[in-house]
């Protein structure tokens, strides 16, 4: 494959199916037609430039659909497992479910030092959901996107280069950061719930540097506030970007191998896929453990 075509192949596979609003007067070339929009229009982006011009309010339809669909599948599997639960010795799928629940429960007991009925179920959902989203990375990179491309070309009149479709939600920073921001909001909620508004603000204002007198506290307050706010905001950013960076790198390697090897990609990518099984599990585990640790820090009154 030529370098230019390989580059286009990689860029196309890393693009999202984006739905957003283009402004009035926008000149676009889409589905083989040139047109100037007379009104602001909600539509699917035909290329990366249109996706960029749609701005912040655009939706990555593929990421939302796959993450939501996998979440529904996860809930359905656990619901089916709960229906079969009994007092007897578990077997088959129920045994697998109980192993996961016991594993998560052990992690919560070891890492969370407060009292909350939410943390264990939340940790279970995070681990299983992130694992399922990561697991999509093991599907050969051309199978689903090329199927989607064929459908859009033959039934909706799109051209092949306009049919973007990604199936690994955790390679989209919008998904990973939205999850980490949700954890961050829980951290704020538990901090205020346990310590009160005054305690929470005092923790930001009078730590890590302490002084005995009022004057010393006032002098150190700006320094403490800057350091603690940065440390607080760094938690969701690092939590989301860590997951995104690792999964994006893994997906990029698969796409690179596919671009170079063509039909031999399944054979060539097999060693990386075996190693990647450990990566996707580890990343789900790390996201879950850090969530537990951050929430535990939020409820520690001292």
Residues with catalytic roles: 238, 242, 246
Cα three-residue angle 231-237-251, rounded to 5 degrees: 150
User: Locate tokens 């580890």: which residue?
Assistant: 282
Sign of torsion over alpha carbons 262, 263, 268, 271? positive
The dihedral formed by the CA atoms of 234, 243, 51 and 153, expressed in degrees to the nearest 10: -170
Q: Using alpha carbons, select from 174, 166, 170 the residue that is nearest to residue 134.
A: 170
Residue 176 near residue 291 (C-beta atoms within 8 A): no
Residue 136 near residue 215 (C-beta atoms within 8 A): no
- CA–CA distance, 90 with 204 (Å, rounded to integer): 48
Q: What residues contact 202, with CB distance under 8 A and at least 6 apart?
A: 195
Q: What is the DSSP letter of 213?
A: S
Cα three-residue angle 102-107-112, rounded to 5 degrees: 130
The DSSP-derived string for 20-85 is EEEPTT-EEEETTEEEE-SS-EEEE-SSHHHHHHT-TT-EEHHHHHHHHHHHHHHHHHHHHHHHT-
Distances (CA, A) of 214 to 199, 202, 217, 220, 229: 17, 13, 5, 10, 21
């Amino acid at each position: 494959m030529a370098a230019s075509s390989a580059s286009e192949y990689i860029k196309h596979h890393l693009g999202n199916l984006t739905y957003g609003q283009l402004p009035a007067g926008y000149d676009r070339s889409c589905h083989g037609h040139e047109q100037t929009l007379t009104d602001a229009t909600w539509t699917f982006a035909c290329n990366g430039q249109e996706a960029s011009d749609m701005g912040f309010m655009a939706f990555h339809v593929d990421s939302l659909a796959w993450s939501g669909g996998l979440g529904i599948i996860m809930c359905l599997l656990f619901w089916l497992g709960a229906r079969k639960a009994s007092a007897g010795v578990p077997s088959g799928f129920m045994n697998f479910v109980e192993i996961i629940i016991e594993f998560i429960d052990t992690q919560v007991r070891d890492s969370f030092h407060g009292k909350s009925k939410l943390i264990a179920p939340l940790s279970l959902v995070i681990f299983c959901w992130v694992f399922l989203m990561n697991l999509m990375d093991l599907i050969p990179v051309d199978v689903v996107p090329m199927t989607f491309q064929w459908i859009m070309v033959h039934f909706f009149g799109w051209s092949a280069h306009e049919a973007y479709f990604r199936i690994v939600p955790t390679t989209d920073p919008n998904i990973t950061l939205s999850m980490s921001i949700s954890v961050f909001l829980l951290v704020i909620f538990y901090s205020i719930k346990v310590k009160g508004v005054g305690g929470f603000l005092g923790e930001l204002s009078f730590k890590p540097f302490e002084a005995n007198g009022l004057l010393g506290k006032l002098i150190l307050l700006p320094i403490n506030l800057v350091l603690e706010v940065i440390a607080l905001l760094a938690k969701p950013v690092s939590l989301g970007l860590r997951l995104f960076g690792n999964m994006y790198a893994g997906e990029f390697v698969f796409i690179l191998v596919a671009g170079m090897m063509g039909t031999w990609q399944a054979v060539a990518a097999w060693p990386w896929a075996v190693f990647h099984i450990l990566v996707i599990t580890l990343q789900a585990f790390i996201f879950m453990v850090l969530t537990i640790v951050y929430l535990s820090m939020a409820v520690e009154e001292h």
